[in-house]
Structure 1
Amino acid sequence: MSSELMREKNSGITVSLSQIPDDKLVSIVSPSGRDVVVTQDADEAMALAKKANEVNFDKKIDRRLRIKADLFILPLICLIYAIQMMDKLTNSSASVMGLKKDLNMSGDMYSWTGSGFYLGYLVFEFPSSYLLQRFPLSKCGFVFLFLWGTVLCLCSTPNYIGFEFLRVALGMLESSMTPMLVIITSQWYKKEEQFFRSAIWFSCCGFGSLLGSAIAVGCYDHLKTYTIAGWKVLLIITGLITVLLSFAFLFWIPDSPASAWFLSDEERLQMVQRIRGNQQGFGNKTFKRNQFIEAWTDYRTYLYFFFSVAMCIPNGGLTTFGSILLNSVLGYGVRQTLVYGCYQGLIEFAGCILIASCIRFVKHRMAICMFGCIMNIIFVCLFTFSTDPYARLGGYLCLGTSVIGIFTMISCFASNVGGYTKKMTVNALFLVGYGAGNIIGPQTFLPSQAPQYVGGQIAMVVSYCVSFVLAIALYASYYFENKKRDRLQSEGKFADSEHLQDIEFADLTDKENPLFRYSM
């Protein structure tokens, strides 16, 4: 490739990147003041950008395309996330249905069934993110979903070692789900739409909890009619549901809007116009070393990471010990414990959507995140420190809404991390933090402190306080960086990029693209 640079700075001439020959390069000035070379190894949408500039596009078309995405994409990814949460909670439900007794668990053996899952999640997060970038989305997602469902069925093993091994494998396979849904959300929705859509599919954790608890109650009520243990029936049912869902994903979800089976050729071009303002495009299959390094050297990556760790220490404890806390700490029977799992799922599902809908009135999603963090602190303190058993129960049930902070952050890096390799890397690191927090969480519930588990409850309080401080820090970083970029643009420092058409499809990172603004 030629070393010649096509500089258009201050020329006033608009140049389309999609029309620049392959042997030419374009240099622009990034917000940091350094020159960034824009190469032809751009986003998948760049191939359609030239044609897309010629199609009709207005608010009516934009609305029609959004509705199509809501009808064809959103329901299935919501169901996928619900099933993922349902599968995670089978361990907790199974624990009060005879799992611990049948597999002869003692000491911290049960804690490690929770931590083992997230150990697999943590170890395989980078490989799964790489595979999702490298291979077609629908085919890769199908393989992960099919194997995940198969492994869950096999978790009905008769011994502890086999069960623990399969739990680790299950975590490895499920590590692909959240990054996959983040990719899909950023492909199909504009920045201002991504928060609420992320909230909808993430709130389906509550629907998954409701569905999983309902299945568990049904299995418990018919224990005497099975030829195998009830907890094994629970695992097999949820595993088979996941296997069936994998085929639905394969044949329904397209690899990107550019290949969507339910869009006409004209609508695919219009979709390119629709997501142009995201400054991100559809994706890029090439691993870019510079973007990988930038992700590791961007301080916001570590704010995401430690926020994820702090939020997921309580999550790991609750998903593993939730049923046990209701059973041993609050004194509810096995069936009542499983029924309360349904209530918690319903509160999580409805509460998250209700709070996320406030984005129509409170335009800053980070404000909603901080509000969610405050709620977490209130609810966990009710459960931990209150002497009233009903207040403790209320605090526990409302902790289902704790995922508000997590899906807010997920929507943040879906919107606010530019460059496909960088986005995948930050996404992976956030989920490594997710896995690390969920590994630590069950270990704070010490067997020596059973049945009250005071240490685990205190760890939840501290963790939610830390997550609140980190959310404030991230909000401040976005605010001041946007102010800086607006000032530099008004001073004419970014004139070169302002005359480059299709720059949003050049696969630039948020630090490289001077037209990029962080969505708060």
Structure 2
Amino acid sequence: MASEKKDITERPGASTISSDSELEALAGSVNEKSLLRKLDLRLLPAVSILYLLSFLDRSNVANARIEGLTTSLGMTGNQYLTGLTLYFIGYVLFEIPCNIILKRTTPKFWLPTLTIAWGVVATLMGVTQNLAGFFVARFFLGVTESGLFPGVVYFLSMWYKRSERQYRISLFFSCASLAGAFGGILAWGIAHMRNVGGYQGWRWIFILEGLLTIVIAVAAYWFISNYPTTVSWLTDDERSFINARLRADSDATNDERFSWAEVWIACKDIKCWLYGLAFHTMSLPLYTLSLFLPTIIKDMGYTSAQSQLLTIPPYACATIFTVFWAVASEKYKLRAPFIITTSSLAIIGYIILLTNESPSKRPGVSYVGTFFAALGIYPSVALVLSWPAMNVSGQTKRATANAMQISIGNCGAVLGTQLYRPNTAPRYLLGHSFALGYLCMNIVVVSTLWWVLSRVNKQKTAILEQYPETKGFHDSEEDLKLGDRHPRWRFNV
């Protein structure tokens, strides 16, 4: 930190960026609140639709399972679980490469292209005839979906100020739980198409939802935007205002080329690993819930059709609460305490599920447990995933950190796919116990990250007290390159 201070103070000739004066000059011609509403309407619905489709196509296998998938393909033992695992192996392996490609291309090209690719794979899952085909399709579905979430998080960080990103990312992520609600009602309806065209209901779930993805992905080439400097729907004043406000707040307007050195800096930063572990400890409960909830509910004694419909209320409540919790977190400018609170809520849910010895005799008790689990998991994940978007500065470093977080995090999902084994039904003690343990570890990791970020902030405060003449991190291009290592950069806790 001291070396950084020396580097800053010994460059008196550095060029100055007059962001504040630009903002003042443009304030009369641009209404900031109206501009933010314009950005929200242009950017958020587009990427949110893609993420809803992504989560729908990865989790509809849970709906297909109770409609006869495993029986039709002759799956025995834990072969279904192996297929789920292969998805996350492909996802983890291609996470960082996909974000590097995004950095070297454009969102308008890369995000729709990825969506078309996974839409094709998702559709092909509906016509697979054997176990090997199912395994291959699940692996490549993971490969093709791997770049969307970290890519969108990076994309939004190039449009919004740090203080504005959490709400937008949480709103975007709420489509995960919304996909669960949609998936249940869609699967219930599509399942009635059994024997249409000689296809079983589970095949139509994959085919129709995959084709929907392809159609919307083609349209996405027209409705996905690039970055503020190139879009045509901004006026010159609006574009200048966005650039000025971002320049005063973060690195979003810095003309930074891809650098392997910045990738390495991210890999050496303990905070980036802690962001990854924070998601790792949430991804296991997140994906086990989304992939096994229909089966868990069916094993309470309900029919397949009832189970599809009963997945809707927990997901719908989780969607609403995720948005509310993000707004509350942003209001109080705190992340860690809010994550710890909702993770504790999920812990209560799994305790209820574990202590109910007869789910089929007392299904209402276990069903309440699923509500607590969903209400705790989805808000926590949304806040965890928005953390590095606010705290990591340096475009390449942030893109790498986002990809690292998802890659490290989804290793937890890989493990989770092997836990809900058929021979542990209906209580699923193994799966529920792991989810409970991971949620407890999440509280430990988030508390550690909270301490680390607070400690670094205090160190920076001490430096500024010793060197009060230190310039703002955006006052010169050279200072801006320091990113979150600059003494005036404050981490959100």
* TM surpasses 0.5: yes
CA contact (8 A) 1:7 1:496 kept: no
Q: How much has 1:447 moved relative to structure 2? A: 4.2
The aligned residue for residue 266 of structure 2 is 295
The superposition leaves residues 88-123 of structure 1 with CA deviations (integer Å, 9 ceiling, x where unpaired) of 221000000010001100111000111111111011
The aligned residue for residue 392 of structure 1 is 366
The aligned residue for residue 234 of structure 1 is 205
The aligned residue for residue 352 of structure 1 is 322
Structure 2 Cα separation of the partners of residues 482 and 433 of structure 1: 25
The superposition leaves residues 407-459 of structure 1 with CA deviations (integer Å, 9 ceiling, x where unpaired) of 21221100101111211221111111232111100212234434432111111
The aligned residue for residue 62 of structure 1 is 32
Gaps of 5+ in 2: 1-5
CA contact (8 A) 2:30 2:237 kept: no
- Residue 132 of structure 1 pairs with residue 102 of structure 2: yes
The superposition leaves residues 35-84 of structure 1 with CA deviations (integer Å, 9 ceiling, x where unpaired) of xxxxxxxxxxxxxx899679513696222221111111111122122111
- Residue 261 of structure 1 pairs with residue 232 of structure 2: yes
CA contact (8 A) 1:14 1:499 kept: no
Out of 205, 228, 244, which is 2:176 matched to?
205
What is the identity, as a one-letter code, of the residue corresponding to 2:68?
G
3-state SS of 1:158 partner: coil
The aligned residue for residue 249 of structure 2 is 278
3-state SS of 1:281 partner: coil
3-state SS of 1:164 partner: helix
Structure 1 Cα separation of the partners of residues 464 and 420 of structure 2: 52
CA contact (8 A) 1:187 1:282 kept: yes
Structure 1 Cα separation of the partners of residues 122 and 440 of structure 2: 35
- Residue 510 of structure 1 pairs with residue 480 of structure 2: no
- Residue 428 of structure 1 pairs with residue 396 of structure 2: no
1:352–1:498 CA distance, 2 compared to 1 (3 A): closer
Percent identity (aligned): 23
1:15–1:453 CA distance, 2 compared to 1 (3 A): same
CA contact (8 A) 2:94 2:146 kept: yes
Structure 1 Cα separation of the partners of residues 8 and 422 of structure 2: 67
For 1:308-327, list aligned pairs within 5 A. 308-327=279-298
Gaps of 5+ in 1: 1-5, 19-48
1:505–1:99 CA distance, 2 compared to 1 (3 A): farther
Structure 2 Cα separation of the partners of residues 499 and 341 of structure 1: 48
Structure 1 Cα separation of the partners of residues 89 and 8 of structure 2: 50
CA contact (8 A) 1:279 1:504 kept: no
CA contact (8 A) 2:354 2:427 kept: no
1:103–1:59 CA distance, 2 compared to 1 (3 A): farther
1:248–1:278 CA distance, 2 compared to 1 (3 A): farther
CA contact (8 A) 1:312 1:434 kept: yes
TM-score under structure 2 length normalisation: 0.91
CA contact (8 A) 1:203 1:349 kept: yes
Q: How much has 1:499 moved relative to structure 2? A: 8.9
What is the identity, as a one-letter code, of the residue corresponding to 1:429?
M
Structure 1 Cα separation of the partners of residues 391 and 430 of structure 2: 36
What is the identity, as a one-letter code, of the residue corresponding to 1:464?
L
Bigger Cα displacement from structure 2, 139-148 vs 222-231 = 222-231
What is the identity, as a one-letter code, of the residue corresponding to 1:96?
I
The aligned residue for residue 22 of structure 1 is none
Out of 436, 443, 446, which is 2:418 matched to?
443
The superposition leaves residues 193-236 of structure 1 with CA deviations (integer Å, 9 ceiling, x where unpaired) of 11111111111112211111111010123425452111111111
Structure 2 Cα separation of the partners of residues 500 and 273 of structure 1: 11
Structure 1 Cα separation of the partners of residues 473 and 67 of structure 2: 65
Bigger Cα displacement from structure 2, 82-91 vs 389-398 = 389-398
- Residue 375 of structure 1 pairs with residue 348 of structure 2: no
3-state SS of 2:311 partner: helix
Structure 2 Cα separation of the partners of residues 140 and 390 of structure 1: 45
1:349–1:285 CA distance, 2 compared to 1 (3 A): same
The aligned residue for residue 90 of structure 2 is 120
Q: What is the total number of aligned residue pairs between the two structures?
A: 482
1:500–1:113 CA distance, 2 compared to 1 (3 A): closer
Structure 2 Cα separation of the partners of residues 132 and 224 of structure 1: 42
- Residue 470 of structure 1 pairs with residue 445 of structure 2: yes
TM-score under structure 1 length normalisation: 0.87
